[in-house]
Chain A
Amino acid sequence: MAVNMGNVMGIIFANMNESVINEITKNRTMGSVLFGGRYRLIDFPLSNMANSGVDEVAVITKENYQSLLDHLGSAREWDLARKKGGLHILPPFGHVEAGLYRGRLEALYGGISFLKASRAEYVILADCDVVANVDFKPIVNAHVDSGADITIVTHTGLYTNEEASSSTIIQTDESGRVCDVLHKPNMAGECTACLNMFVMKMEFLIQLLEDGNARGYFSFERDVLQRKVNELNIRTYEYDGYFSKIHDMRSFVKANTDLIDPENAKKLYLQDRPIYTKIRDNAPSKYDLNCIVKSSLIADGCIIEGEVENSVIFRGVKIGKGAKVKNSILMQDTVIGDDAVINNIVADKDVTVADNRMLSGSEEFPLYIGKGASV
């Protein structure tokens, strides 16, 4: 039976997994990390929920959430500025006993009074480390039909040691029930990895939180998925669409540059399920007389006078005359001086690279330049 998505609440963890790219998340949440030329990572789970008909979304924050608040505003851009439901931001210290949480369970427990007051029947939990266009409707329906206590959204494929050891790996028995959960295992090969999206009943979640609080549990992966794997009916939903999971700087760069291939972009940016973001009202981008741009993504508000290849250029970037930018990611309002040469660089917001400078990282280790730096 089809579930009325109006009865589903979305919960997004804005800070979860931020240590995987700790240079970029030094002063911001994982959710507010800039991505793909004009987005922030939270745009993906938030747009997915909005496009799936979820009209009440809570965003759980921890630290450094100023940029996130600025980005989300009233959530009008995601069509979540609603009278009923809409966007709720749950900062830490939601109640007197709450402190800075150590894991998902504690984080959610900090907002338990909000959850209890909600009329939603089901919840979708999601992190900001997976870039994907997910329709949650079939996932929630599958969850209800299977009678599972928890449904984990997974992807099965070949994983490198690096990828597997930064994921939660799931094993299921013949009936499809989860029988083993390995958190960040040292392994490689074909496995089923958790995409950090979960569906369950609100009532069930509240029960887990109260039980967890009473027993001093804080980790959803360790204290629920692992500890209760035999006790609970945990099932998986295999996601087969396009996605990128960010687990370090290199995978962050790859997730960005993969979208230069229009075939990938077509799978992520679906016309009937657009990815929304904050509007900046930039003018369109200007390509100057002697510029050469190839195999790149360019956002609005840029002025390009030099060469750009295999790069992702965010809103408001200026690239000077004779400058050469290759294999790089230049975030919002960065300025590359005339005749500067840039290769394998990740420049955060408002970076200034002076005229004639040469900067180079490697494909294995892209060179990161912090927000506002002048080089």
Chain B
Amino acid sequence: MTMFNKKECVAMLLAGGQGSRLYALTQSVAKPAVPFGAKYRIIDFPLSNCINSGIDTVGVLTQYQPLVLNEYIGNGQPWDLDRIHGGVHVLPPYQKASGSDWYSGTANAIYQNISFMDRYDPEYVIILSGDHIYKMDYDKMLTYHKQNNAACTIAVIDVPLEEASRFGIMFARDDGEIYDFVEKPKEPKSTLASMGIYIFTYSKLKEYLIANENDKDATKDFGNNIIPALLANNERVWAYRFDGYWKDVGTIDSLWEANMDLINPKIPIDLYDPDWKIYSRNPVMPPQSIGKNAAVQNSVVTEGCYIDGSVEFSMISNGVTIEEGAIVLDSILMPGCVIKKNAKIEYAIVGENSVIEENAQVGSRPENVENRDEWGIAVVGHNLTVSSGSYVKPKQIISQSI
């Protein structure tokens, strides 16, 4: 153990979830590797938050479809996480002398990597997840954790009451101490939602992980097991209130909304702040080229694009081509996709390297749909072709070429 430099705080990033509610978009890619905001992938946000908060040792726990994610993280250099001591480490499940186990829950995934954390002899461990878009200074949360001499501090955010049943809901005293917790309550009585960010005093974390692992009935999950166990034993559990922008991007709708939030000047997430950059792996492409027939408004566009069509309220990722006469409205085009002449994309997400042939249409405005229940964001998965003249209906999700 002495071979490793001690780290005060180590981050463990849970990136193994399948993200099944993103359907075609996560069929071959883990959710944290899903493209976001024209030049990012979702995992860029927690990784950049780590380095911007002074945390330089990050374990990324992967399990589902790790190929793209592993390649993307690489040696961690884009996030300044290629370090002699610490840095980013991808931690897939592995075979042990006692047998091999997939990660069977969030707590179990961390439990299986106790030896990784032990190497850095940390005082604290911060548990993060790879499916949220936000900018947060974890160091401020750590200071708060220390001030309260807490065993565990949970970042919380006020959510509208009608959405509260989607989250783990906390009940806290005025001083911030949490006295009760309900996972996804049907009839929520508080609006303090867990953001899935936990700071633990490491000795406590280890103690509770081992106890949980020995409990045959446990689901090996932080929300279901570890937090209730801490509360039952009267451990000091505190709520850290966060009032910035935070968005879960676990569903098609929320992924679309979070992208659109970057275009909306009223939404408080500033990606242009030189003191809190969001880093990403660079695709090495020339600047975006805007043609003589183009009309681009209210949109975000990045390197390597060629646009000669009309683009409004859309997110255009690197290397996208939009030919003359094509119309892209209220949509997300992921890296490398091609929108051919006179094709129309409305309220849609088009996956990486997919091609929408001439005169094809993906999605439609809600006004054009008679029954609003049948309306929704249309999705074309990655590496697909939508052939000339065909139509992907609103709310339709395709994972095969048509």
Contacts and interface: CB of A to CB of B under 8 A. Distances in A.
B3 interface: no
B306 interface: yes
B298 A299 contact: no
Interface in B285-299: 285-292, 294-299
A276 B284 contact: yes
B290 A293 contact: yes
A294 B303 contact: no
Contact of B278 (A279, A283, A303): A283
Nearest to A314: B287
B300 A294 contact: no
B272 A301 contact: yes
B271 interface: yes
Given A38-B287, A284-B37, A284-B38, A299 B272 contact: no
Given A287-B297, A288-B297, A291-B296, A297 B288 contact: yes
B342 interface: no
Classify chain B's interface size.
20 to 34
A273 to B, nearest CB: 11
- For A262, A283, A308, the residue with the greatest tally of chain B CB atoms inside 10 Å of its CB is A283
A154 interface: no
A315 to B, nearest CB: 8
A290 interface: yes
B26 interface: no
Contacts of B289: 260, 262, 265, 296-297
Contact of B272 (A36, A38, A292, A303): A303
Classify chain A's interface size.
35 or more
A37 B304 CA distance: 12
Nearest to B39: A284
Given A281-B277, A283-B278, A284-B39, A297 B287 contact: yes
A296 B279 CA distance: 26
B233 interface: no
B100 interface: no
A298 interface: yes
B287 A36 contact: yes
A64 interface: no
A293 B301 CA distance: 12
Contact of A300 (B294, B303, B306): B303
A289 to B, nearest CB: 5
A298 B295 contact: no
Given A289-B297, A293-B290, A300 B284 contact: no
B282 A279 contact: yes
Contacts of B38: 284
Interface in A36-81: 36-38, 76
B354 interface: no
B191 interface: no
- For B37, B38, B272, B288, the residue with the greatest tally of chain A CB atoms inside 10 Å of its CB is B288
Interface string A314-356: 0000000000000000000000000000000000000000000
A295 interface: yes
Contact of B301 (A36, A259, A285, A292): A285
B298 A295 contact: no
A265 B301 contact: no
* CB-based closest 3 A-B pairs: A37-B287, A283-B271, A284-B302
Interface of B: 37-39, 77-78, 263, 271-272, 277-280, 282, 284-292, 294-303, 306, 311
